[in-house]
Amino acid sequence: MIRIPFFLLASLIALYAAEPRSVTGTLTSATTTSGTVDIGSVPIGVSGIVVHAYDRSHRAIVATAIVQGSEGGRTTVELRPYRGLRQPNLPDVKTPPQKGDTVVLGYLYDRVLPIVPNQKSFDLAHRSFPKLHIVHPDLIAAELAKAKTPIPDREILQKSCDKFNLGLVMIMLADGTDFLDCQSWTKVGHSDIAAVDVTHFKQPFFNRFEEIPSPFYDWSDHTIADYDNFYRKLEQRR
């Protein structure tokens, strides 16, 4: 069943100026790579899904939509293949996005991947954002361990978002909390809730692993010297 979320973050990250509301629209035009949606005032970088209805009982996600511009009551989106429910033993959905399909922007924005420096910051995030489902950082640390990648990069965080069905990456910094869209890697919101003492942090972010292994026969220094500086730069990776 497809989840049609509400903007639980509206009061925190100001994706819309209005109160929380459904962000469902209709695709009014579509090509293989772009389309327009009949809603406006959507920040650039917000991602979502395109849903095609075959009949009253059967629907499928046929594409990912990423906002490229929004003016008046019209939003322009880039259309990409949807990769959130990949199953190698089943064929991909071949239906292309088309006029009349439903578009849900902010899909899975209530499910968040947290990057925080320490336990106190993680506890603060839970208290400060009670409506968000913040997964435990151990899940992401496990992905780093399997890949033997002690320091995270954009690619592995985005892959983790896909694997665990997450919509946002939340990075707690010294001056507040940034929310990045998992698909577009664009900052779509900011809260003034700041991390607790970023100078004391667990490598490479708060997790309960004793250590994350590095590649075999790699003696490089896989540590982050400055948590705040590293993740500010990671936010800018394109």
Q: What is the pLDDT of residue 94?
A: 85
Q: What is the pLDDT of residue 148?
A: 92
Q: 145 pLDDT exceeds 80?
A: yes
pLDDT, tens digit, 9 for 90 and up, residues 6-43:
344 443 344 433 222 348 999 999 999 999 999 998 88
Distance CA 173, CA 165 (A): 24
Q: 1 pLDDT exceeds 90?
A: no
Pick the closest to residue 27 from 39, 16, 15 (CA basis): 39
Q: How many CB atoms lie within 10 A of CB 90?
A: 8
Q: 61 pLDDT exceeds 90?
A: yes
pLDDT, tens digit, 9 for 90 and up, residues 153-210:
999 999 999 999 999 999 999 999 999 999 999 998 899 999 999 999 999 999 999 9
Q: What is the pLDDT of residue 23?
A: 82
Question: Under the phi-then-psi rule, with left for phi > 0, alpha for psi from -120 to 50, and beta for the rest, what region is 83?
Answer: alpha
Q: 139 pLDDT exceeds 80?
A: yes
Q: Which domains does the chain have, with CATH numbers?
A: 10-105 (2.40.10), 111-235 (no CATH)
Q: What is the pLDDT of residue 6?
A: 38
Q: What is the pLDDT of residue 181?
A: 94
pTM over 0.85: yes
Contact yes or no for 38/89 (Cβ under 8 A): no
Q: Residue 216: which pLDDT band, with cuts at 50, 70 and 90?
A: confident
Q: 228 pLDDT exceeds 80?
A: yes
Pick the closest to residue 24 from 8, 39, 44 (CA basis): 39
Q: 215 pLDDT exceeds 70?
A: yes
Pick the closest to residue 78 from 90, 68, 63 (CA basis): 68
Q: What is the pLDDT of residue 87?
A: 63
pLDDT, tens digit, 9 for 90 and up, residues 75-111:
999 999 998 766 666 667 889 999 999 999 999 999 9
